[in-house]
Amino acid sequence: MTAVSLKRILKDANKNKYAVAGLVVLGWDDALAFTQAADETGIPIILQAGPSCRAHTPVPILGKMFRYLADQTNTHICCHIDHGYTIRECIEGIDSGFTSVMFDGSKLSLKENIKITSSIVKKAHNSKVSVEGEVGFVGYANGKNSKGTLIDEAIKFSRESNVDAMAISVGNTHLQTKKIAKIDFDKIQKIQNSISTPLVLHGGSGIPNQTRKKLAKETNIAKFNIGTEVRMAFGNALKGQMKKNPLVYDRLQLLKPTIPEITKITKKIIKNIGPK
């Protein structure tokens, strides 16, 4: 099945009261595991190339890889650039076959964020590519603190930028290894009462499973970014292989057994928030 836009995937999610996982890709092995999980469950996913992934592998290569995997999979796959910080990064994603890009203007003034995001939206929509934006700042565990999204700014940003999805900061934090996030349901409700834009939570790994499920069913949160959770599964599987086979040095022999483990946890994640 060919790749689809973020707008299409999230519109279906909001309509049918579920959410989709934006799965952070670092290489072929985890991307393959993610698409196997989608195939085996019939649940759509979003393959995401974030800054560290793009620093490791050129975007044109990632675009071809993501589109190839989407073509081999029997459910909808969105191919997404995550945390693009410049217009150039977003345009490169559009030109390389991605069906969605995120411009992260969370560190800019609201006025500048809207100005740049709306310019990317125009270029992207001309190519039938979706755009995710961000209002507020989602912080990092053991790093910069979050700056919560202001309701009025979220409404203004959504209406003036014309984004297809909007990431917000409501208690979620990047890179959390424990599920300890306390999400502000009231703020989410107030935002969605004024706009219909599908909402996104980055730092989904730190949100308890039951909270993710409740958000998917009861709010306009249509996308959870999941990275740390699957990276931990990969790391544990790889460490186990190296301990079990201390004389094996072939990277393919070491990496191949991690794929079933990543597939297994991915299926649990997408079933929890996905359609029933």
Model confidence pLDDT, tens digit, residues 189-214: 999 999 999 999 999 999 999 999 99
Q: Which pLDDT does position 15 carry in this prediction?
A: 96
Range with the largest mean pLDDT of 96-100, 140-144, 254-258: 96-100
Note whether 75 and 105 are within 8 A (CB).
no
Q: Is the pLDDT of residue 142 over 90?
A: no
Distance of alpha carbon 40 from alpha carbon 73, whole angstroms: 9
The answer to whether residue 51 is domain-embedded is yes
Known active-site residue 71: no
Q: Is the pLDDT of residue 162 over 80?
A: yes
- Residue 117 pLDDT > 90, yes or no? yes
Of 80-84, 101-105, 164-168, 242-246, give the lowest mean pLDDT range. Answer: 242-246
What is the pLDDT at residue 175?
94
Give the Cα separation of 221 and 212 in Å (integer).
Answer: 9
Question: Which residues span the domain enclosing 58?
Answer: 6-273
Decide if 131 is inside a domain: yes
10 DSSP β-pair partners:
none
Which phi and psi angles does 201 have, rounded to 5°? -115, 115
The Cα 213–Cα 226 span in angstroms is 14
The two tokens of residue 102 are 């995120």
> For residues 211 and 158, is the Cβ–Cβ distance under 8 A?
no
Considering the candidates 82, 104, 152, 184, report the single residue annotated as catalytic: 82
- Contact predicate 168/149, CB 8 Å: yes
Quick check: is 1 in a domain? no
Instruction: Please indicate, yes or no, if residue 239 is contained in any of the structural domains.
Output: yes
CATH number of the domain within which 29 lies: 3.20.20.70
Residue 276 has pLDDT above 90, yes or no: no
Using the Cα atoms of residue 266, residue 268, residue 272 and residue 276 in order, give the sign of their dihedral: positive
Taking the C-alpha atoms of residue 208 and residue 152, their distance in angstroms, rounded to an integer, is 27
Query: Is 97 within the bounds of a domain?
Result: yes
| Number of compact structural domains in the chain | 1
Domain assignment present for 176 = yes
Scanning 137-257, the segments in alpha helix (DSSP H) are: 151-161, 185-192, 209-218, 228-244, 251-255
CA distance 95 to 134: 22
Tell whether pTM > 0.75: yes
- Quick one: tokens of 204? 């989904």
Average pLDDT of the chain, as a whole number = 96
Q: Which residues face 157 on adjacent strands?
A: none
Q: What is the mean pLDDT of residues 240-258?
A: 92
Write out pLDDT tens, residues 171-195.
999 999 999 999 999 999 999 999 9
pLDDT above 90 covers what percent of the chain? 95
